Structure 1
Amino acid sequence: MDRTTRLLIAEDQGMMRSALATLLDLEDDLTVVAQVARGDEVVAAVERVRPDVCLLDIELPGRSGLDVIGDVVRAVPSCAVVIVTTFGRPGYLRRALQAGARAFLVKDDPVEDLAAAIRRVLAGEIVVDPQLAARALGASPNPLSEREREVLTASADGATIADVAARLHLSPSTVRNYLSAAIGKTDTRNRAEAYRRARDQGWL
């Protein structure tokens, strides 16, 4: 009998995580060996159970799924990362694939499609939701530098310039310069609009 594929699920919504695990466990060749609810727990769990596939949400508490991908790939190179998210944004797709993800799927897809995608990934394919792939072809590339993304994200909760400067160990004038550049590059009027546009495009 062929060995079953071992899965780790990283999803912060408990009901969604449990339902996904239950449905995938119904597949004869798939078994869920671990579940985590936080992004900062993923790498340790992957190192502990060494799954064949890590099913990873993007917006997780503790750490973004996009930031976790590279660490998972480095920690256990044999583990394929499959993004399963509500946020089907072209910018997220680009970042995920560049970081080493092997698939990018949206949660609207039936679980049968997810199971099929897992098998295709293990066969060596890169699997992307077709509608998202089509949108990504016409989407603008991310115009923001890494520092501009950091400053925008740090200011998203209404933090003052001084707060952002202290948090990122920058001078207030440097923070203003990065925010001004981000506002210009996103063609918006202020940092709140710049953050929303960058988030909606998947640039953050």
Structure 2
Amino acid sequence: MIRVVLAEDQALVLGALSALLSLESDLEVVGTAADGAAALEQVRLHQPDVLVTDIEMPRLSGLDLAAQVRAGWPGVRVVIVTTFGRAGYLRRALEVGAAGYLLKDAPAAGLAGAIRQVHAGGRAIDPTLAAEAWGESDPLTDRERQVLRAAETGQGTAAIAAALGLSEGTVRNYLSEAIGKVGAGNRAEAARRAREKGWL
């Protein structure tokens, strides 16, 4: 029996995924969670074979969740199921240790197959995205990504500097670098472009 924890912030989707997987004779859903922090707690409690998670979730994103699971429970395999068909997200998911990356509009039977595949030590990645992922690399550093995310919420340079423990000059430098790297005219456009590429 392959033991699975599901993490998805949309209740209807979470219920549907749980019901779908429960129909499989070799899969058992041992826990569900509506946000990333609750999912981490479910992993701690149940130590499943596979965690299936969305990317965009409250309290802890699917990517941050995958990174923490890899650090704390390296035996738990992670499959990301998302609406975001962006190569940047796929690359970042693989960097934090995800073994699977599927789109929510993929055939339902594909998820059970992907869970079996990653449980057996393989990878399950949307083939179209996989081809696209290696065509364009993410130019941002982790710090530039942090600063752009803060700028995306409308925070000024002083607020970003205070939140991240940096000087205002350093924040301006990171913003300037990020704006140049994504070919944008200002911080708002840079954040939007980076978000569209899946780099944030």
TM-score by length of 1: 0.94
Q: What SS class does the counterpart of residue 84 from structure 1 fall into?
A: strand
Count of aligned pairs between the two proteins: 200
Q: 2:18 aligns with which of 1, 18, 21?
A: 21
Residue matched to 1:189: 185
Q: Aligned partner of 1:111: which letter?
A: A
Residue matched to 1:167: 163
What's the offset of the Cα at 1:137? 2.7
Percent identity reads: 53
- What is the RMSD computed on CA atoms of the aligned residues? 1.1
Q: 1:98-150: per-residue Cα shift (whole Å, max 9, x none)?
A: 21111111100122111011111122211110111121132x21111111100
- Spell out structure 1 runs of 4+ moving beyond 3 A: none
- Equivalents in 1 of 2:118, 2:167: separation in Å? 45
- Equivalents in 2 of 1:197, 1:135: separation in Å? 17
For structure 1, the 5+ residue unaligned runs are none
Residue matched to 1:153: 149
Q: 2:79 aligns with which of 56, 79, 82?
A: 82
Residue matched to 2:117: 120
- Equivalents in 1 of 2:70, 2:142: separation in Å? 21
For structure 2, the 5+ residue unaligned runs are none
Q: Aligned partner of 1:162: which letter?
A: A
- Equivalents in 1 of 2:46, 2:156: separation in Å? 42
Q: Aligned partner of 1:174: which letter?
A: T
- Equivalents in 2 of 1:146, 1:77: separation in Å? 23
Q: What SS class does the counterpart of residue 139 from structure 2 fall into?
A: coil
Q: Aligned partner of 1:180: which letter?
A: S
- Equivalents in 2 of 1:101, 1:32: separation in Å? 19
Q: 1:10 aligns with which of 7, 21, 45?
A: 7
TM-score by length of 2: 0.96
What's the offset of the Cα at 1:28? 0.9
Q: Is the 8 A contact 1:54 1:81 kept in 2?
A: yes
Q: Is the 8 A contact 1:24 1:111 kept in 2?
A: no
State yes or no: 1:97 paired with 2:97.
no
Q: Aligned partner of 2:55: which letter?
A: I
What's the offset of the Cα at 1:41? 2.2
Q: 2:138 aligns with which of 137, 142, 153?
A: 142
Q: Aligned partner of 2:95: which letter?
A: Q
- Equivalents in 2 of 1:130, 1:50: separation in Å? 29
Q: Is the 8 A contact 1:43 1:75 kept in 2?
A: no
What's the offset of the Cα at 1:203? 1.1
Q: Aligned partner of 1:185: which letter?
A: K
Q: Is the 8 A contact 1:9 1:21 kept in 2?
A: yes
